């Protein structure tokens, strides 16, 4: 049977040999030490075993991306650590739905995302997670690089290792990849297939791999946050079986215990309408067609009603009529209050003087929706924000197929197409592929194998997508009875992570 060579896509390999090729070898690792600045600012010396890169599927399409690395702490500040049963932090570094690779990683937190225009992909090696501060509140996500409120880099893999967790960093294919025939092989659903295959690899090796595979906690930011939420929502769904089988993924469960999602760019087929509902009044760097904003905002009204969601804390129905107030009451004002109460008297006075839209008295913030969106200012994206009429946006590329780089995902943009695709159907299998990429699909189906613990975060100035996207995700999970911890970081932009220490405490408590 071994005569066919490696990586063949026929079925000559038996299940046993494929599975055997996916057995984790616990004896092959490098001993590393690193000094990590914790979220609280302390310095910890961590000794750890570094495994990999390991290809996590038997029939890889591109091992550069379909590989993972594992870091297992053995001592922290000279005290030995037994991580055999520790939670596993499964930290994807996807940004922009681009490919992410750990093929060149030689230590924790080095995973590389392919940047969208020169981002801050994390190449921090040993010694520190406290990279130089930057002045803005914006960070190119991915590469596991995020900014905290002080403008310091946050590396979830490094911080998690310093907490004694096992850290798995998976690579995954992304939308830009083409093969020698010009075929796009990293477009949807490739990235989620790969992350699921990586989880299956861990579970297949549950008795060989350090860490508790029943306590996998996924993390990711932006597109990576979307994939993290999707991984959580879609556990063991049969919607991915064909693709997983084709890759020779381990025959094991891909459920995870918990998902952390920072600014998830998800619910893509409803993101254009949601965007106009949220940021439709905001200026853009060029002219926005008011008719498009109006059309899409009207679609949101219908969509939001169809979700039939309730707001938290007894707020009542979440509709287009109530949603601005919901965001104000449950997210934006509490977020502003937390921020303002943490400032010194002088800084608070300065802030309030510079931001007269906000009234702050007796620890309570008051402002209007109009005041808030005016404060946020220029929106990040055109209209439509995701499915461009000219197929020019990243999400068009995400749904490319074959040699076609980009396709439409909404009927509205298809109908307004300017590229000459009129009359052609939406991308083949669009509904299936959209469902494969959308956690909301699995939540609507009440997938019983979903993660039931959720950490959802985003900045209030993040106009990469509508604030309703994460909020609907949270509300729909709460409606199923899941544990949802969701808040927004005041005045922070896309890719921020203001409370990594709280997240790690939360992970400790999940164990
Ligand atoms: C990301 C940001 C976007 O605005 C988007 O449309 C897709 C992905 C990101 O940062 O990952």
Name which residue sits closest to atom 9 of ligand 1, judged by CA.
96
Maximum distance among all Cα pairs of the chain, rounded to whole angstroms: 76
Residue 129 binned pLDDT confidence (cut-offs 50, 70, 90) = very low
pLDDT above 80 (res 14): no
Alpha helix locations (H) across 122-185?
Answer: 156-162
CA of 438 to the centre of ligand 1 (A): 15
Residue 186 phi/psi, 5-degree rounding, is -115, 10
Name which residue sits closest to atom 7 of ligand 1, judged by CA.
96
Nearest in space to 60 (alpha carbons), one of 7, 11, 18: 7
CA of 15 to the centre of ligand 1 (A): 38
pLDDT above 60 (res 92): yes
What does the CA dihedral 190, 193, 194, 197 come to, rounded to 10 degrees? -160
Name which residue sits closest to atom 8 of ligand 1, judged by CA.
96
Percent of the chain at pLDDT > 70 equals 88
Please, what is the end-to-end C-alpha distance for the chain in angstroms?
A: 43
C-alpha span between 352 and 344 (Å, rounded): 12
| The ligand 1 atom nearest the CA atom of 95 | 11
Three-state SS for 453? strand
Three-state SS for 292? helix
- DSSP characters for 60-99? -S-TTTSEEEEEEEEEETTEE---TT-EEEEE----TT--
C-alpha span between 222 and 245 (Å, rounded): 28
CA of 265 to the centre of ligand 1 (A): 6
Write the CB contacts of 491 (distance below 8 Å, at least 6 apart in sequence): 137, 339, 459, 460, 461
pLDDT above 90 (res 143): no
CA of 43 to the centre of ligand 1 (A): 32
Neighbours of 1 (CB within 10 A): 8
Nearest in space to 380 (alpha carbons), one of 301, 464, 449: 464
CA 443 to chain centre: 17
Which pLDDT belongs to residue 310?
A: 98
- CB-side neighbour CA atoms (13 Å) of 159: 28
Name the residue of 464, 494, 497 whose CB sits within 8 Å of the most ligand 1 atoms, as the mutation to test its pocket. 464
| The ligand 1 atom nearest the CA atom of 394 | 6
CA of 223 to the centre of ligand 1 (A): 5
pLDDT above 50 (res 4): no
Write the CB contacts of 1 (distance below 8 Å, at least 6 apart in sequence): 12, 13, 14, 17
Which pLDDT belongs to residue 511?
A: 79
> Residues 233, 239, 245, 247: is their CA dihedral positive or negative?
negative
pLDDT above 70 (res 186): yes
Residue 384 phi/psi, 5-degree rounding, is -65, 155
CA of 201 to the centre of ligand 1 (A): 28
pLDDT digits (tens, 9 = 90+) for 347-367: 999 999 999 999 999 999 999
Name which residue sits closest to atom 4 of ligand 1, judged by CA.
464
Which pLDDT belongs to residue 114?
A: 67
| The ligand 1 atom nearest the CA atom of 465 | 4
Count the helix, strand and coil residues of the chain and give each as a percent rounded to the nearest 5: 35, 20, 50
Which pLDDT belongs to residue 123?
A: 29
Nearest in space to 120 (alpha carbons), one of 91, 150, 96: 96
CA of 224 to the centre of ligand 1 (A): 9
Which pLDDT belongs to residue 112?
A: 76
pLDDT above 60 (res 379): yes
pLDDT above 90 (res 472): yes
| The ligand 1 atom nearest the CA atom of 385 | 6
pLDDT digits (tens, 9 = 90+) for 426-464: 655 789 999 999 999 999 999 999 999 999 999 999 999
| The ligand 1 atom nearest the CA atom of 94 | 11
C-alpha span between 362 and 112 (Å, rounded): 46
Residue 24 binned pLDDT confidence (cut-offs 50, 70, 90) = very high
Which pLDDT belongs to residue 41?
A: 86
β-strands 364-366, 359-361 pairing: antiparallel
pLDDT digits (tens, 9 = 90+) for 278-328: 999 999 999 999 999 999 999 999 999 999 999 999 999 999 999 999 999
Name which residue sits closest to atom 2 of ligand 1, judged by CA.
96
CA of 495 to the centre of ligand 1 (A): 9
Name which residue sits closest to atom 1 of ligand 1, judged by CA.
96
Name the residue of 93, 94, 97 whose CB sits within 8 Å of the most ligand 1 atoms, as the mutation to test its pocket. 97
Percent of the chain at pLDDT > 90 equals 84
Q: Are 40 and 46 in contact (CB under 8 A)?
A: no
Name the residue of 188, 265, 382 whose CB sits within 8 Å of the most ligand 1 atoms, as the mutation to test its pocket. 265
Residue 335 phi/psi, 5-degree rounding, is -65, -45
pLDDT digits (tens, 9 = 90+) for 233-290: 999 999 999 999 999 999 999 999 999 999 999 999 999 999 999 999 999 999 999 9
pLDDT above 50 (res 119): no
Which pLDDT belongs to residue 429?
A: 73
Which pLDDT belongs to residue 495?
A: 95
In a 10 Å sphere around its CB, with 0-12 CB exposed, 13-18 middle and 19+ buried, how is residue 329 labelled?
Answer: middle
C-alpha span between 203 and 89 (Å, rounded): 14
Which pLDDT belongs to residue 118?
A: 32
CA of 60 to the centre of ligand 1 (A): 26
pLDDT above 70 (res 15): no
Average model confidence (pLDDT) for the chain? 90
pLDDT above 50 (res 127): no
Residues having CB closer than 6 A to ligand 1 are 95-97, 141, 222-223, 265, 394-395, 464
Q: Are 408 and 426 in contact (CB under 8 A)?
A: yes
| The ligand 1 atom nearest the CA atom of 224 | 11
Range with the poorest average pLDDT among 86-100, 139-153, 175-189, 385-399: 139-153
Nearest in space to 436 (alpha carbons), one of 250, 271, 253, 241: 241
Three-state SS for 51? strand
Q: ∠ at Cα 461 (339, 195), nearest 5°?
A: 105
C-alpha span between 356 and 362 (Å, rounded): 16
ipTM tops 0.90: yes
Nearest in space to 84 (alpha carbons), one of 95, 76, 94, 73: 73
Mean pLDDT for 403-419 is: 92
| The ligand 1 atom nearest the CA atom of 464 | 4
For tokens 């967790």, what's the residue?
165
For tokens 């194998």, what's the residue?
449
Range with the poorest average pLDDT among 73-82, 118-127, 289-298: 118-127
- DSSP characters for 479-509? HTT-EEEEEEETT--TTB-S-HHHHHHHHHH
CA of 394 to the centre of ligand 1 (A): 8
Nearest in space to 58 (alpha carbons), one of 206, 236, 204, 211: 204
| The ligand 1 atom nearest the CA atom of 494 | 10
CA of 486 to the centre of ligand 1 (A): 20
CA of 231 to the centre of ligand 1 (A): 17
CA of 188 to the centre of ligand 1 (A): 14
pLDDT digits (tens, 9 = 90+) for 187-223: 999 999 999 999 999 999 999 999 999 999 999 999 9
């Amino acid at each position: 049977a071994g005569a066919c060579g490696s990586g063949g896509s026929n079925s000559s390999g038996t299940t046993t040999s494929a599975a055997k090729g996916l057995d984790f070898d616990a004896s092959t690792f490098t001993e590393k030490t690193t000094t990590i600045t914790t979220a609280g600012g302390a310095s910890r010396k961590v000794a750890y075993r570094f495994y990999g890169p390991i290809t996590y599927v038997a029939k890889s399409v591109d091992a550069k991306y379909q590989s993972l690395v594992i870091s297992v702490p053995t001592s922290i500040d000279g005290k030995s650590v037994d991580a055999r049963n520790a939670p596993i932090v499964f930290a994807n570094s996807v940004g922009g739905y681009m490919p992410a690779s750990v093929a060149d990683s030689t230590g924790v937190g080095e995973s590389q995302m392919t940047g969208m225009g020169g981002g801050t992909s994390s190449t921090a090696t040993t010694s520190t997670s406290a990279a130089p501060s930057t002045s803005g509140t914006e960070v190119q996500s991915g590469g596991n690089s995020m900014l905290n409120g002080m403008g310091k880099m946050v590396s979830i893999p490094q911080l998690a290792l310093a907490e004694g967790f096992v850290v798995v960093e998976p690579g995954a294919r992304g939308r830009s990849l083409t093969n020698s025939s010009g075929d796009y092989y990293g477009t949807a659903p490739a990235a989620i297939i790969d992350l699921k295959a990586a989880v299956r690899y861990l579970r297949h090796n549950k008795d060989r791999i350090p860490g508790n595979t029943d306590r996998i906690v996924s993390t990711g930011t932006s597109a990576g946050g979307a994939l993290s939420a999707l991984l959580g929502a879609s556990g063991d769904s049969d919607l991915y079986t064909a693709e997983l089988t084709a890759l020779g993924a381990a025959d094991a469960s891909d459920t995870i215990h918990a998902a952390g999602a920072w600014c998830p760019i998800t619910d893509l087929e409803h993101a254009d309408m949601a965007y106009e509902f949220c940021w439709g009044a905001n200026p853009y760097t060029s002219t926005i067609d008011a008719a498009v904003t109006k059309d899409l905002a009207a679609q949101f009204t219908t969509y939001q009603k169809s979700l039939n969601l309730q707001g938290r804390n007894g707020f009542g129905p979440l509709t287009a009529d109530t949603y601005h107030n919901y965001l104000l009451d449950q997210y934006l004002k509490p977020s502003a209050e937390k921020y303002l109460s943490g400032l010194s008297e002088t800084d608070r006075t300065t802030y309030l003087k510079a931001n007269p839209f906000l009234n702050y008295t007796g620890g309570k913030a008051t402002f209007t929706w109009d005041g808030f969106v005016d404060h946020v200012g220029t929106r990040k994206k055109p209209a439509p924000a995701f499915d461009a009429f000219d197929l020019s946006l990243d999400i068009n590329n995400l749904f490319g197929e074959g040699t076609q780089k980009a396709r439409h995902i909404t009927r509205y943009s298809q109908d307004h197409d300017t590229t000459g695709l009129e009359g052609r159907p939406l991308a083949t299998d669009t509904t299936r592929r959209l469902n494969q990429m959308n956690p909301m699909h699995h939540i609507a189906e009440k997938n019983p194998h979903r993660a039931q613990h959720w950490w959802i975060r985003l900045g209030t100035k993040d106009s990469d997508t509508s604030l309703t996207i994460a909020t609907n995700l949270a509300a729909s999970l709460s409606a199923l009875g899941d544990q949802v911890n969701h808040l927004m970081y005041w005045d922070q932009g896309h890719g921020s992570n203001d409370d990594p220490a709280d997240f790690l405490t939360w992970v400790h408590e999940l164990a």
